[in-house]
Amino acid sequence: MSTPDILSFLAKQLKPYRGRMETVDRLPERGRSHQEVLSLLEQLRQLEAGRWQTGYASGAVYHGGAEHTEFLSAAYKTQSQSNPLHPDIWPSAAKFEAEVVAMTARMLSGDAVRTHRRGDRVVGAVSTGGTESILLAMLAYRDWGREEKGIAQPEIVVPVTAHAAFEKAAHYFGLRLVRVPVAEDLRADVEAMRAAVNENTVVLVASAPSFPHGVIDPIEEIAALAGEHDIGCHVDACLGGFVLPWAERLGYPVPPFDFRVPGVTSISVDTHKYGFAAKGTSVVLYRSADLFHHQCYTAADWPGGLYVSSTLLGSRPGALIAAAWAALVATGEDGYMAAAKGILAAADRLKQGVREIPDLKVLGDPLFVVAIASDTLDIYQVMEQMAQRGWSLNGLHHPPAFHIALTRRHAEEGVVERFLSDLQASTDEVRRSPEVRTGMAPLYGMAAMAPGELVHGLLEAYIDVLYEV
């Protein structure tokens, strides 16, 4: 498939409303009625809701129940004008954020830090998502390394499976990113991390679980290594933070990953994933206020007055923080436990079913994010066949695979069985016609083999298509 063919295919996927709906590329001369605008929004909502509501999407919407969605919308409405930058006007915004941080910290064993070192307490902030939480943590370690240890060129050591947001943080903040391999079980190779540590290292990174394969890195060993060198250990629990505590209580094999581990100095966890909040909130937590302060920005001599900001943003949508608070309070421990039980049971059925399909295999030993690969078939063409059957799945590289992150939508009756039936049919189709490559399969295959410059160029072209009206 040539580059023009790829871009044409992407345009059809990303711009399905071209020619079907009016394009608004300039301000209307006369504003339209609220009813007309809301009618269009509702029309688009109905067109797009079906796939994720019926469980055809990997991740994306983690709760999605109609009653819960209406509840979040109502909570948002009560605080729609709130801005945490002005706590004198909206002290409720500060209350909601502090309590979201406190509830999340306690869920992740924040009380344990006081037993490790007197005076420590877990603190943090609500960000706009997992990427910002990771960016903030890496910024804090950069400045901590510079100010506390005199490290002029800070380095972060990450497994190759760590989220791309760590690479983004290194790019934004002038950090050197040191990638290390994973072991055969796809978990971080601790000895490779040990070999990568030097006098410039400020933090080691671990995932709970990793985005590609859903496996939990050996966090106790990584944190111990960080402790030996008096550096940070950040646990990216954006995916697992609101599942793993309940999975452990349900008897699943969850190794210690949170603040019970003495060397863990910070954690990122997404309230807008399995915390069932609306999109746009995450939490970044630190073992001590001293470390947290390196994330924050203050200006004392600006003509505009005193300025302080705890995250990358100044003004923030207080309504989203309020909705996150509402989600946590309304769901409660019993609600998260029940959700985890259903999701994990669905994942168990799905993993068993995949293992029974010839030519397919599950990578690693995941709990609820299941990566599927093959030694004999073009797994990207299998994913394309699944796409033709309505499934939106995540393609992976190194090794070639795709994954499905199970949510409450997949715990609904019959969804896993439909997935396995379609997967069997897709695998059979690829086995019958191994030479066929359609849809996104050639692009994924090329990305795995082509030079990095070519792939980056295609991704930039993807962005150009995305922002075309």
Within a domain: 398: yes
Does one domain contain both 258 and 351?
Answer: no
pLDDT for residue 451? 67
Does one domain contain both 286 and 387?
Answer: no
Is residue 457 within 8 Å of 413, Cβ to Cβ?
A: no
Q: Is the pLDDT of residue 446 over 80?
A: no
Does one domain contain both 54 and 131?
Answer: no
pLDDT for residue 2? 63
Question: Which of the four pLDDT bands, split at 50, 70 and 90, describes residue 281?
Answer: very high
Asked which of 292, 316, 340 is the last residue of a domain, the reply is 316
Place of tokens 């943003």: 313
Within a domain: 71: no
Q: What percentage of the chain reaches a pLDDT higher than 70? A: 98
Q: Under 8 Å CB-to-CB from 345, ≥6 apart: which residues?
A: 411
pLDDT for residue 452? 72
Amino acid occupying residue 432: R
Does one domain contain both 290 and 418?
Answer: no
Nearest to 396 by CA among 189, 129, 215, 130: 215
Cα 226 from Cα 194, distance rounded (Å): 9
pLDDT for residue 449? 67
DSSP 264: -
Query: 398: domain CATH number?
Result: 3.90.1150.10
Within a domain: 80: no
Asked which of 286, 316, 346 is the last residue of a domain, the reply is 316
Question: Which of the four pLDDT bands, split at 50, 70 and 90, describes residue 122?
Answer: very high
Say how far residue 334 (Cα) sits from the centre of its chain.
24
Helix (H, G, I), strand (E, B) or coil at 370: strand
- Rounding to the nearest 10 degrees, give the CA dihedral for residues 135, 125, 206, 122: 140
Does one domain contain both 354 and 416?
Answer: yes
Query: 187: domain CATH number?
Result: 3.40.640.10
Asked which of 259, 282, 316 is the last residue of a domain, the reply is 316
pLDDT for residue 213? 98
The beta strands (E) that lie in 245-354 are given as 266-269, 282-286, 297-299, 307-309
pLDDT for residue 450? 66
Does one domain contain both 219 and 340?
Answer: no
Does one domain contain both 307 and 397?
Answer: no
Does one domain contain both 237 and 99?
Answer: yes
Does one domain contain both 349 and 445?
Answer: yes
User: Which backbone phi and psi does 401 adopt, to 5 degrees?
Assistant: -170, 175
Does one domain contain both 411 and 336?
Answer: yes
Count other Cβ atoms within 10 Å, centred on residue 339: 21
Task: List pLDDT tens digits, range 397-432.
Answer: 999 999 999 999 999 999 999 999 999 999 999 999
Cα 367 from Cα 248, distance rounded (Å): 11
Task: List pLDDT tens digits, range 298-331.
Answer: 999 999 999 999 999 999 999 999 999 999 999 9
Cα 459 from Cα 469, distance rounded (Å): 18
Number of domains in the chain: 2
Within a domain: 177: yes
Q: What angle do CA 433, 403, 179 make, to 5 degrees?
A: 115
Within a domain: 443: yes
Within a domain: 37: no
Q: What is the mean pLDDT of the chain?
A: 95
Report the side by side order of strands in the sheet with 176-180: 123-127, 282-286, 266-269, 232-236, 201-207, 155-159, 176-180
Does one domain contain both 57 and 150?
Answer: no
SS (H, E, C) 43-80: HHHHHHHHHHHCCCECCCCCCCCHHHHHHHHHHHHHCC
Within a domain: 432: yes
The predicted model gives 432-448 an average pLDDT of: 79
- CA dist 360 → 417, 422, 429, 434 (Å): 16, 13, 13, 15
Cα 87 from Cα 371, distance rounded (Å): 44
pLDDT for residue 117? 86
Q: Model's pTM, two decimal places?
A: 0.95
Beta bridge partners of 268: 236, 284
Within a domain: 33: no
Task: List pLDDT tens digits, range 33-60.
Answer: 999 999 999 999 999 998 899 999 999 9
Domain that includes residue 296, residue range: 91-316
Question: Which of the four pLDDT bands, split at 50, 70 and 90, describes residue 334?
Answer: very high
Does one domain contain both 156 and 278?
Answer: yes
